[in-house]
Structure 1
Amino acid sequence: MPYADLSGNIRLFYTDDAPQTDGPPLLLVHGWGTDSHQWSWHIDALAARHRVIAADLRGHGYSTVPETGNTPRMMAEDLRGLLDHLDVPQVIAVGHSMGGQVVSILAVEHPERVRALVALDPGYGMAAPVPDGFPRMIAGLRGPHPHAAAEKIDEWCTNAATPAVIRRWHKRRLYGMPPHVLVQAFEAMFTDPGAIGVRPAGDDYLARRACPVLSIWADRERASWEAGLLKDGLSTVMCWEGSSHRLHEERPAEFVLVLERWLRRIG
């Protein structure tokens, strides 16, 4: 499997399926505490019509684990470097959870590289009282049992709709994560200066995304909030009520169908 050597001594693991397919590739970006295996439910179906690039973000999976800089902003810069490495001028960027932040940052900071953006229950739009619990979560991630704390946070990501195999899959990956990456990424998403994960702090930044956005949420209130931020007339916001944070893993065929229909709509 290929690796890309980027600046800053970062080496990203990635896969590149159907590289001869025309049109902007799909760039698949996983969430916090997981890796690009998260897209195993989808790659085969998507690669039937599209070039599909799926990368492990820094600190995750098979990619380099730096001591510092494990933040969505640096991860977005790594992805820009990966596109340069592959000589890919533009992508349709698809991100789940923290990956939704990463692809949004890529779209704001490098708008010429993102033709369209897909955000799956993204890691932004958090509103009171949820942020009140972040200091306790961070203390747990910095404490003597960081993986147990991460597993406790991850319980929020599932519900009765989540198959046991998906719960187990994510738990195993969390316990394989370097603790300093978990806490750095979490703080950078929600509590560090400039974090875009909490409302209203991130609203102005997210409103700078000029490309079409397909956003699929498990929470109707957050879906309605994001609809008010989107500028492009081809943008679409959906809510899959009853699903959990892992909605695209719980309903992979439906996700692929919805994505394909939206891509045809935006041309």
Structure 2
Amino acid sequence: MPYADVGEDVRLFYTDDGDGPPLLLVHGWGADSHQWSWHIDAFAARHRVIAVDLRGHGYSSVPATGNTPRAMAGDLHALLAGHLGVPQVVAVGHSMGAQVVSVLAVEHPARVRGIVAVDPGYGMTADIAAGFPQMIAGLRGEHAHTVAEQIDEWCTNAATPAVIRRWHKRRLYGMPPHVLAEAFEAMFTGPEAIGVRPASDDYLARRGCPVLSIWSDPERARWEAALLRDPASKVVCWEGSGHRLHEERAAEFVHLVERWARRLGW
């Protein structure tokens, strides 16, 4: 399987399957590119599918610092532009990955034809954000993985299959604690965080490309719909799904993304 050196201390693991208009698949916090095992073969039937482990995650390098969505987006740009020579992608990101691909689209707009944001890790309201400092303190404490598991409980509900719960729990316990803490903080409370409103509104409104946004929460779906500028953008809400709705409803997810990509000529 391929690796790419994209910085002084960052080596990314990625897979590259299929042929056709490229899709870039970007996992969420505390996961890795195995999260896309439900989807890669189906997408690869008509796309080149690049699935990457973000810095600090999976088989990629674990820097001592700098494990932030902005740095991760920079890594992806280096992977696409410098290592693979891919001029443009439709970038699919789940949760934190939706932040990462949004940063990629804002800071490197020519690189991104469109975004698929899967139950994105942005648009949090102040009442939810009030609990983040305590969570971050816990992630920096001696029981970081227990705290991470407690945070992860929010990602599931009665509809979530046990195998998905188990997979993500095991992955979290394999994560370096400092990466969990640093990435979570950078998403929501750090100086450049875009995960909480109104910072989310200001930054995401800068995305110039079409966005397909798929939510489990109808209120946050309505909120993002008001931010989208490109007429090819679309917001879908699968109310009742868990946070990992693309894993719970994998075939439906692939069908939805493929139909939207075709409308973009992708």
Shared topology, TM-score over 0.5? yes
Q: Which residue of 2 aligns with 1:89?
A: 87
Deviation at 1:194, TM superposition (A): 1.6
What is the distance in 2 between the residues matched to 1:98 and 1:171?
17
Superposed, 1:52-71 pairs within 5 Å as: 52-71=49-68
Q: CA RMSD in A?
A: 0.6
Between the two proteins, the alignment pairs up a number of residues equal to 264
Q: Which residue of 2 aligns with 1:15?
A: 15
Residue 61 of structure 1 aligns to a residue in which SS? coil
| Equivalent residue letter for 1:10 | V
The answer to whether the aligner puts 1:44 opposite 2:38 as a matched pair is no
Partner of residue 222 from structure 1, selected from 220, 223, 228: 220
Deviations 1:16-62 (A, max 9, x none): 001xx233x00000000000000000001000110000000000000
Partner of residue 70 from structure 2, selected from 64, 70, 73: 73
Superposed, 1:187-266 pairs within 5 Å as: 187-266=185-264
Deviations 1:167-199 (A, max 9, x none): 000000000000000000000000001200001
Which runs of 5 or more structure 1 residues have no equivalent in the other structure? none
Deviation at 1:135, TM superposition (A): 1.1
Structure 1 outlier segments of 4+, above 3 Å: none
TM-score by length of 2: 0.98
What is the distance in 2 between the residues matched to 1:209 and 1:201?
14
Superposed, 1:136-147 pairs within 5 Å as: 136-147=134-145
What is the distance in 1 between the residues matched to 2:5 and 2:264?
33
| Paired-residue identity, % | 77
The answer to whether the aligner puts 1:111 opposite 2:109 as a matched pair is yes
| Equivalent residue letter for 1:150 | A
Deviations 1:144-180 (A, max 9, x none): 1000000000000000110000000000000000000
| Equivalent residue letter for 1:71 | T
| Equivalent residue letter for 1:37 | H
Residue 181 of structure 1 aligns to a residue in which SS? helix
* Residue range with higher mean Cα deviation, 136-145 or 164-173: 136-145
Residue 13 of structure 2 aligns to a residue in which SS? strand
Partner of residue 131 from structure 2, selected from 122, 126, 133: 133
Residue 126 of structure 2 aligns to a residue in which SS? coil
What is the distance in 2 between the residues matched to 1:17 and 1:158?
30
| Equivalent residue letter for 1:126 | M
What is the distance in 2 between the residues matched to 1:144 and 1:61?
22
The answer to whether the aligner puts 1:100 opposite 2:98 as a matched pair is yes
What is the distance in 1 between the residues matched to 2:8 and 2:210?
32
| Equivalent residue letter for 1:233 | P
Deviation at 1:204, TM superposition (A): 1.1
TM-score by length of 1: 0.98
| Equivalent residue letter for 1:26 | L
Superposed, 1:116-195 pairs within 5 Å as: 116-195=114-193
What is the distance in 2 between the residues matched to 1:234 and 1:257?
17
| Equivalent residue letter for 1:6 | V
Which runs of 5 or more structure 2 residues have no equivalent in the other structure? none
